[in-house]
Structure 1
Amino acid sequence: MIKKLKSNDNEVFNELVILYKNRVINTCYRFLLNKNDAEDVSQEVFIEIFQSIKSFRGDSKLSTWIFRIAVSKSLDEIKKRNRKKRISSIAQTLHLDDVAHWISGGKMPDEDLIASDNMAQINKALNKLPENQRIAFTLSKIDGFNNLEISEIMKTTTIAVESLIYRAKKKITADLEHILKK
């Protein structure tokens, strides 16, 4: 497959996209927490793969290389967001329209709002973690990668990954227990 990709075989590239599309979108979503942004970034991931496949040396598995690009592109998007601070996306995330409707005498927020609030609190707890711990924890506990795959994606050792995940769990346990008790 790699050989055909390097020779610009579009059919094989389409197969690669079909094979990895959903997992790449899910990985991006875990970092970006926005479906549209995750889809946009995943397109950038596949563009990068298409443009850079000739430089792929094969030091790691193709899938590891793909997810390394996905994580990198997602983190770039987060940095871009932090520079812009879009108020409209914050309002959308917090469902301020629903809350305003409820305060003005409308129906109480529904379960979707409560679930969204719980997810926002979980994400807030994850965002308190240092970047490397958040990446390792997310790839392990949410995306289901094993420590060897994570070490390849993050370009570090498996021992470092184990340590990052352990420290991340330790830091957010209290926050997550509080959320789950609610």
Structure 2
Amino acid sequence: MVFNLALNYVQNYEDAQEITQDVFVSVYRSMASFDGRSTVSTWIYRITVNRCLDVIKARKRKKRFGFITALFDGEGKEDVPHFDHPGVQLEHKETLEKLFTYINELPENQRTALLLSKTEQLPQTEVAEIMGLSVKAVESLTQRAKASLAAKMKNSEGKK
């Protein structure tokens, strides 16, 4: 569950493995402080989401720093992560790469709600608990995310 969620967030096998390891180290270190207000799986999902968001933010910082460095060094080299998801068949890779590009453009809370409810297939009550929101808020975020993705896909098809 941790690895799959991480892989859906970062779309890179090695990063997902690293996140998974970090999550379980964090769970082990924090087990004594777990207060039982939620289920253990909900608590682990929350840690996973937070760790994934940290990795994505670090990636963006690295990309910005690489761009600034390239301006001063005169090199146009940026370290852009590529879509690397082992469960994707080659013929579907391009379509899913585009879809995940659009998912990554969603606001953080919409992306989290969408990934937890649609790819992880968690009930909205659990997604709400993981995100610290009401069920109605999660429903709204998921609907906005789906509408935004549909619009982006439609615009993409119109440009062909």
TM-score by shorter chain over 0.5: yes
Cα RMSD of the aligned pairs, angstroms, is: 2.4
Specify the alignment match of 2:26 in structure 1: 48
Shift of 1:39: 0.6
Matches within 5 A, 1:24-43: 24-43=2-21
Instruction: Give 1:50's aligned amino acid.
Output: Y
Q: Which residue of 2 aligns with 1:82?
A: 60
Aligned mate of 2:105, from 128, 131, 147: 128
The alpha-carbon deviation at position 121 of structure 1 amounts to 0.7
Unaligned runs of 5+ in 1: 1-22, 95-110
Q: Does 1:152 align with 2:126?
A: no
Number of the residue aligned with 1:142: 119
In structure 1, how many angstroms separate the alpha carbons of the residues matched to 2:83 and 2:110? 24
Report % sequence identity. 37
Contact 2:12–2:83 (Cα < 8 Å) also in 1? no
Instruction: Name which structure has the greater RCO, CA cutoff 8 Å, separation 6+.
Output: 2
Change (3 A) 1:47 1:180: farther
Give 1:88 shift.
Answer: 4.2
Q: Deviations over 1:22-55 (max 9, x none)?
A: x100011111100110010110000000000111
The count of residues paired between Structure 1 and Structure 2 equals 142
* Alignment partner of 1:68 is 2:46: yes
Asked which structure has the greater CA Rg, the reply is: 1
| Residue type at the aligned position of 2:110 | Q
Equivalent-residue separation in structure 1 for 2:113 and 2:83 (angstroms): 24
Point out the structure with the larger helix share: 1
**Are the aligned partners of 2:27 and 2:44 in contact in 1 as well (CA < 8 Å)?**
yes
1:57 and 2:35 equivalent?
yes
How far the C-alpha of 1:144 sits from its partner, in A, is 0.6
Match of 1:115 among 92, 113, 133: 92
| Paired AA for residue 103 in structure 2 | L
Give the Cα–Cα distance (whole angstroms) in 2 for the partners of residues 145 and 36 of structure 1: 25
Alpha-carbon distance in 1 for matches of 2:41, 2:154 = 34
TM-score (norm 2): 0.80
Distance in 2 between the 1:125 and 1:34 partners?
Answer: 16
On the 8 A contact 2:10/2:16 being kept in 1, the answer is yes
